[in-house]
């Protein structure tokens, strides 16, 4: 546990605490509890009479967070579930309004670093990618069963992959010979399908966008973001704030549009007009933070 805690660096922690601004006795939601780094800082701020609802799809992450947050167990509700169900979760806890909501989107470094979870093309592991292990559809099922056209759409829409048709075609050809069972299998299929990195005109690994697209599809990530955001404004007390950290343009586009819609309707004020970015020092210490964008809005009525 100590090693996990030491290695876990919450993204943009200082900015989150400054602009989410949890106060003593507040009721807060961390919709992406992860390993509990942001939650720990929030719990210290809200004090013994404050309450935190910590939600995560991933039972393994939840178990780690419970251990880390053991000193705050009396203040914390731990919920294994999807933040898209936030209204139902709060209702079942008897909570009608909250003072703050934090959503740290995407995949955690712990999930990415565990080869057995199948999220990374950089390590050999089963082709899984499920954040919630009870999800019946893994990356293996998706990659080995979807029609070519559906695969191409997923790669285009969720990975913004230029070579989506070629990759989908190569996947279908490969699985006709034998199933694509591991992360290495999928990586090799992508490498067969696309030009070399120089030919692509990109610095990122050729498999990056494909793995992102499949992961988003398996976990229905963008759908969940859109669903929960529509609910959040009605769950915030007046003066309550929502902070969302996005890691790629697909996530940030949804957040940006929803915040703009709320502001147009007079439901929120935008605490920052443009998304905050991590400082250079944080990016050096935690490379995962480099692509982070933090948006904050405050409920006005």
Residues 162 and 292 in one domain: no
Kind and range of the H or E element at 79? strand 76-80
Residues 123 and 203 in one domain: yes
- Tell me the whole-structure pTM to 2 decimals: 0.92
The answer to whether residues 28 and 86 touch, using CB atoms and an 8 Å cutoff, is: no
Residues 234 and 215 in one domain: no
Distance CA 156, CA 274 (A): 27
Q: Which of 194, 219, 244 is the last residue of a domain?
A: 219
Which tens digits make up the pLDDT trace of 231-252? Answer: 999 999 999 999 999 999 999 9
Distance CA 129, CA 299 (A): 35
Instruction: Check which CATH number belongs to the domain holding 85 and give it.
Output: 3.40.50.150
Instruction: Check which CATH number belongs to the domain holding 169 and give it.
Output: 1.10.150.170
Q: Which domain holds residue 141?
A: 116-219
Which tens digits make up the pLDDT trace of 136-169? Answer: 999 999 999 999 999 999 999 999 999 999 999 9
Structural domain count, the chain: 2
Residues 205 and 225 in one domain: no
Residues 126 and 274 in one domain: no
Residues 89 and 106 in one domain: yes
CA angle 210, 214, 215 (to 5 degrees): 115
Residues 143 and 226 in one domain: no
Pairing of strands 293-299, 76-80: unpaired
Q: What's the confidence (pLDDT) of residue 219? A: 96
Q: Which of 219, 244, 270 is the last residue of a domain?
A: 219
């Amino acid at each position: 546990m100590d090693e996990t805690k030491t290695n876990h660096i919450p993204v943009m922690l200082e900015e989150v605490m400054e602009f989410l601004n949890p106060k003593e006795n507040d009721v807060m939601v961390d919709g992406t509890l992860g390993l509990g780094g942001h939650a720990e800082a929030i719990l210290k701020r809200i004090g013994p009479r404050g309450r935190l609802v910590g939600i995560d799809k991933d039972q393994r992450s939840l178990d780690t967070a419970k251990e880390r947050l053991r000193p705050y167990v009396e203040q914390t509700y731990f919920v294994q579930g999807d933040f898209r169900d936030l209204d139902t979760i709060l209702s079942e806890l008897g909570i009608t309004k909250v003072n703050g909501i934090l959503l740290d989107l995407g995949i955690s470094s712990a999930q990415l670093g565990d080869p057995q979870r199948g999220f990374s093309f950089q390590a050999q592991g089963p082709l899984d990618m499920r954040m919630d292990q009870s999800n019946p559809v893994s990356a293996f099922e998706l990659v080995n069963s979807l029609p070519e056209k559906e695969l191409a759409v997923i790669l285009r829409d969720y990975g913004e992959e230029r070579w989506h048709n070629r990759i989908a075609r190569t996947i279908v050809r490969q699985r006709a010979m034998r199933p694509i069972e591991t992360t290495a299998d999928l990586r090799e299929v992508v490498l067969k399908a696309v030009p070399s990195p120089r030919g692509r005109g990109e610095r990122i690994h050729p498999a990056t966008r494909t793995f992102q697209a499949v992961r988003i599809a398996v976990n229905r990530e963008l759908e969940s973001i859109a669903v929960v955001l529509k609910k959040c404004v009605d769950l915030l007390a007046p003066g309550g704030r929502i902070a969302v950290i996005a890691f790629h343009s697909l996530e940030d586009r949804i957040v940006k549009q929803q915040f703009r819609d709320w502001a147009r309707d007079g439901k929120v004020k935008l605490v920052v007009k443009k998304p905050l970015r991590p400082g250079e020092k944080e990016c050096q210490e935690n490379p995962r933070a480099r692509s982070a964008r933090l948006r904050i809005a405050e409920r006005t009525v």
